[in-house]
């Protein structure tokens, strides 16, 4: 078969990979010269630890796929670094203890470590904390270089063509397939079209599928200059327990009742996640904003909070912040759905809404769609 994939982010590229793996031909269109959305504005985390029990199997399959991809495409920067969620309050410690003793603990690779054992795993953590929840299955990729590396790998198959700076204006079901018209009145014929628009829910997407059962979420993040020492694991704080369904339970309910977040963290629905890039710098975030219209400017208070918490856990000053950014991602309105798939026409599907899980689950979502469509 010949597939037309519209959207050059991780979800579109993951679907291209799944199709190429199964022997098909793919033409992929991206309206920007490079993907500019949530795919490149994230931590690059392959985050198993916080996935819900219903999604755990999916996340572990995605983790195995990323490891396989990393072996074939070194440029994606895959590394099985694991993570440490550091707790600083008794209520957070109770959540970590429950997670480490829970039914999914072994599959996730959970272990609750005292400060001495935390520092044995990650010597850069010389600050103040009560304990750390270690997750050995978490991993990381380089989000800003993964897509070009994946496209080069796909191009080498001889069955993949990428058209950058090419906006799809019309997707017409012909009865036996589809015809895609771009912004220069060129036509691409295919047997099937997969539209992976990220957080762009209007325009062509609305024409094809109407109002989708998704919402948009805005975040703020930052990156520092090189730390000057390795940070062997990803690092999170106890606020992450509030936002990841894998930790849900009476302990999290008690944590939320305590209202122990700072005013800034509560106002901006914040958690600390921190990942070291291959160049030594740290990607640090993030915030959650759900009500549109989103602000077009950056708020300094969250950055001050993130800096303060990271420095407390590291026990040292951060290097200078070299860039800050905001991003918007698409999240399914159904909390039990890993992604939203809508059949717009017989040969046209719209796929979006993985939330903050796009980088984690991308490869396995592509495989799931290929199974669903019997590719």
Report which of 221, 125, 170, 158 is spatially closest to residue 29, judged by C-alpha positions.
170
- Check residue 335 and give its pLDDT: 82
What is the CATH topology of the domain spanning 1-46+144-213+337-375? FAD/NAD(P)-binding domain (3.50.50)
Residue 312 pLDDT more than 90? yes
Query: What are the start and end residues of each CATH 3.50.50.60 domain in the chain?
Result: 1-46+144-213+337-375
Tell me the whole-structure pTM to 2 decimals: 0.96
Task: Please report which confidence band the pLDDT of residue 336 belongs to, taking 50, 70 and 90 as the band edges.
Answer: confident
In angstroms, the CA 139 to CA 74 distance is: 14
330, 201 Cβ separation under 8 angstroms: yes
Distances (CA, A) of 130 to 45, 136, 147, 157, 212: 24, 19, 38, 51, 44
- Check residue 180 and give its pLDDT: 98
Query: What are the start and end residues of each CATH 3.30.9.10 domain in the chain?
Result: 83-136+214-332
The architecture of the domain spanning 83-136+214-332 is 2-Layer Sandwich (3.30)
Q: What is the mean pLDDT of the chain?
A: 96
pLDDT digits (tens, 9 = 90+) for 6-22: 999 999 999 999 999 99
- Check residue 212 and give its pLDDT: 95
Residue 71 pLDDT more than 80? yes
User: Distance between alpha carbon 214 and the CA centroid of its chain, in Å?
Assistant: 16
Mean pLDDT value across residues 324-335: 94
- Check residue 261 and give its pLDDT: 82
Residue 144 pLDDT more than 80? yes
Beta bridge partners of 273: 236, 285
Distances (CA, A) of 298 to 43, 76, 237, 327: 18, 29, 22, 11
- Check residue 369 and give its pLDDT: 98
46, 366 Cβ separation under 8 angstroms: no
- Check residue 12 and give its pLDDT: 98
Decide the pairing of beta strands 321-332 and 214-224. antiparallel
Report which of 315, 346, 65 is spatially closest to residue 191, judged by C-alpha positions.
346
In angstroms, the CA 353 to CA 238 distance is: 26
- Check residue 304 and give its pLDDT: 97
Mean pLDDT value across residues 219-239: 98
Mean pLDDT value across residues 324-339: 94
In angstroms, the CA 361 to CA 42 distance is: 13
- Check residue 285 and give its pLDDT: 95
């Amino acid at each position: 078969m010949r597939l037309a994939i519209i959207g050059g982010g991780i979800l579109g590229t993951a679907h291209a990979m799944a199709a190429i793996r199964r022997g098909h031909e793919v033409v992929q269109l991206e309206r920007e010269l490079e993907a500019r959305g949530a795919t490149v504005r994230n931590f690059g985390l392959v985050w198993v630890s916080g996935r819900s029990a219903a999604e755990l199997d999916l996340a572990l399959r995605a983790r195995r796929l990323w490891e396989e991809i990393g072996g074939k495409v070194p440029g994606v920067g895959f590394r099985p670094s694991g993570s440490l969620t550091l707790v600083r309050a008794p209520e957070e410690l109770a959540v970590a203890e429950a997670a480490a003793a829970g039914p999914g603990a072994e599959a996730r690779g959970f272990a609750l470590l005292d400060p001495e054992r935390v520092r044995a795993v990650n010597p850069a953590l010389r600050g103040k904390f009560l304990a750390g929840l270690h997750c050995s299955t978490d991993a990381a990729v380089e989000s800003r270089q993964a897509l070009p590396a994946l496209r080069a790998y796909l191009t080498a198959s001889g069955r993949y063509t990428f058209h950058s700076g090419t906006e799809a204006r019309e997707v017409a079901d012909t009865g036996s397939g589809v015809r895609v018209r771009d912004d220069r009145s060129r036509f691409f014929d295919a047997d099937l079209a997969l539209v992976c628009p990220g957080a762009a829910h209007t325009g062509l997407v609305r024409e094809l599928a109407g109002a989708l059962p998704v919402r948009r979420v805005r975040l703020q993040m930052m990156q520092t200059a090189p730390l000057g020492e390795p940070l062997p694991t990803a690092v999170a704080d106890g606020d992450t327990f509030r936002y990841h369904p894998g930790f849900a339970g009476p302990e999290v309910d008690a944590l939320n009742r305590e209202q122990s977040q700072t005013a800034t963290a509560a106002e901006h629905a914040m958690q600390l996640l921190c990942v070291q890039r291959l160049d030594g710098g740290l990607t640090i975030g993030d915030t959650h904003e759900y009500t549109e219209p989103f602000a077009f400017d950056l708020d300094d208070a969250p950055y001050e909070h993130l800096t303060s918490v990271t420095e407390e856990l590291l026990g040292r000053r951060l290097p200078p912040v070299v860039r800050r950014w905001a991003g918007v991602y698409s999240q399914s309105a159904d909390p039990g759905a890993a992604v939203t798939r809508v059949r717009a026409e017989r040969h046209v599907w719209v796929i979006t809404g993985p939330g903050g899980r796009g980088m984690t689950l991308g490869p396995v979502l592509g495989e799931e769609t290929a199974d669903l469509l019997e590719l």
